[in-house]
Amino acid sequence: MEYVIDNGHIIVADQAKIDRNDRGYHFGDGIYEVIRVYNGKPFTMDMHVKRFEESAKKLDMVLTLSLSKLEELLMELVKKNALQDGIIYVQMTRGISPRNHLYSRNEKAVITGYTQEMPSKVELQQNGIDVWVTDDIRWLRCDIKTINLLGNVLAKREAADHDCHEAIQHRNGIVTEGSSSNLFLIKDRILYTHPATNLILNGITRQVVIGLAKELGYEVFEEAFPKDVIEHADEAFITSTTSEVTPIKSFQGQVEVTLEVGPITRQLQEAFEKEK
Ligand code: PSZ
């Protein structure tokens, strides 16, 4: 039997109901997190729930349960679904009310969630992916993990239409991030990635990988760079909860570069494997 979180409670999946007046449907008015589970154990759950709370605050929403209660609830769901290797998805919408742009601060937030088996993408991590370079058309609060992801989904579709696995976005020539991942370049043994500003989501995997790189003795420059410098990179990879550390073997579209999967990317993949 599959269980889900419905309005903050764990119930049988078939019995879950979504209200058609949920503000998530009307406006994409909500937030989410995706948390990786390895061997039945959530990975960096504390960082994810903290970011969930921060996303809520930035959208003038209030979490209706404490972070420790939320962690307990998610752990209970993992156990009930006997999830071994996969993800937990959790989201909170602002509430249920007839369509109206103006929200009230008395809305009762709706927390839903589910789990899904998902093994690591070993083949992609071994061979690398092709990425499509395109304009970043998103709003100016990409630091918030909102369910409103139109810019991201259009970029992902555009990438797939060019047989690429991920879109790498740039804003006026400055590279920001992937449609659902963060980007790292390596040049002369130094790692470069966009700083954690309002223009990117500060990925949990990004933060873990920056920590691991520093522990391994590498310098990490959290600096914005123009898309033209991609041509001079020695190595490149993306990070995310589901892709972990995935090498890039080519950039296509507005930048055309072919890359080998390099030794530092491999070293970081190994370090990440140990961290799991
Ligand atoms: O399963 C999926 O489709 C997932 S799991 C994580 C994401 C998608 N996306 C995370 C993400 C993102 O959406 C953007 C715009 N930038 C960076 C990331 C990476 O964040 P973490 O490392 O926290 O998953």
Q: To 10 degrees, the CA torsion angle through 253, 184, 247, 116?
A: -100
Q: In the predicted model, what is the mean pLDDT of residues 27-44? A: 98
pLDDT band for 76, please (50, 70, 90 cuts): very high
* Cα 100 from chain centroid (whole Å): 29
Q: Give 151-208 pLDDT, tens digit per residue.
A: 999 999 999 999 999 999 999 999 999 999 999 999 999 999 999 999 999 999 999 9
Q: What is the pLDDT of residue 169?
A: 98
Q: What is the pLDDT of residue 63?
A: 94
pLDDT of residue 111: 97
Residue 24's SS3 state is helix
User: What per-residue confidence (pLDDT) applies to 205?
Assistant: 98
pLDDT at 15: 96
**Tell me, what's the pLDDT at 276?**
93
Residue 145 a catalytic site member: yes
Could you state, in order of their start, the residue ranges of all structural domains in the chain? Answer: 3-117, 122-275
Q: What pLDDT score was predicted for residue 103?
A: 98
Ligand 1 centroid to 106 CA: how many Å? 30
Mean pLDDT of 254-275: 98
Contact (Cβ atoms closer than 8 angstroms) between residue 254 and residue 133 = yes
Cα end-to-end span (Å), the chain: 28
Q: 111 CA to middle of ligand 1, Å?
A: 19
Q: How far is CA 37 from the centre of its chain?
A: 14
Which tokens is 103 given? 């929200």
d(CA 249, CA 256): 11
Regarding the domain with residue range 122-275, which homologous superfamily does it belong to in the CATH classification?
D-amino Acid Aminotransferase, subunit A, domain 2 (3.20.10.10)
- CA 243 to centroid of ligand 1, rounded, Å: 9
pLDDT, residue 22, reads 98
Residues β-bridged to residue 178: 168
Please name the residue whose Cα sits nearest to atom 6 of ligand 1.
241
Kindly list the protein residues whose Cβ atom lies closer than 6 A to any atom of ligand 1. 34, 152, 177, 180-182, 201, 203-206, 239-242
Q: Give the chain's mean pLDDT.
A: 98
d(CA 194, CA 140): 15
Q: pLDDT tens digits for 44-75?
A: 999 999 999 999 999 999 998 999 999 999 99
Amino acid at 108: K
DSSP three-state, residue 261 = coil
Which ligand 1 atom sits closest to the C-alpha of 145? 13
Average pLDDT over residues 62-90: 97
Query: What pLDDT, on a 0 to 100 scale, did the predictor assign at position 75?
Result: 98
Q: Domain spanning 3-117: which CATH class is it, in words?
A: alpha beta
Greatest alpha-carbon pair distance for the chain in Å reads 56
Place 243 in a pLDDT band, splitting at 50, 70 and 90: very high
From 145, 187, 249, 276, active-site residue: 145
Q: What percent of the chain has pLDDT over 70?
A: 100
pTM of this structure: 0.98
Which atom of ligand 1 is the closest one to the Cα of 204? 23
Q: Report the b/e string of 127-162 with b at 16+ CB within 10 A.
A: ebbbbbbbebebeeebbbbbebbebbeebbebbeee
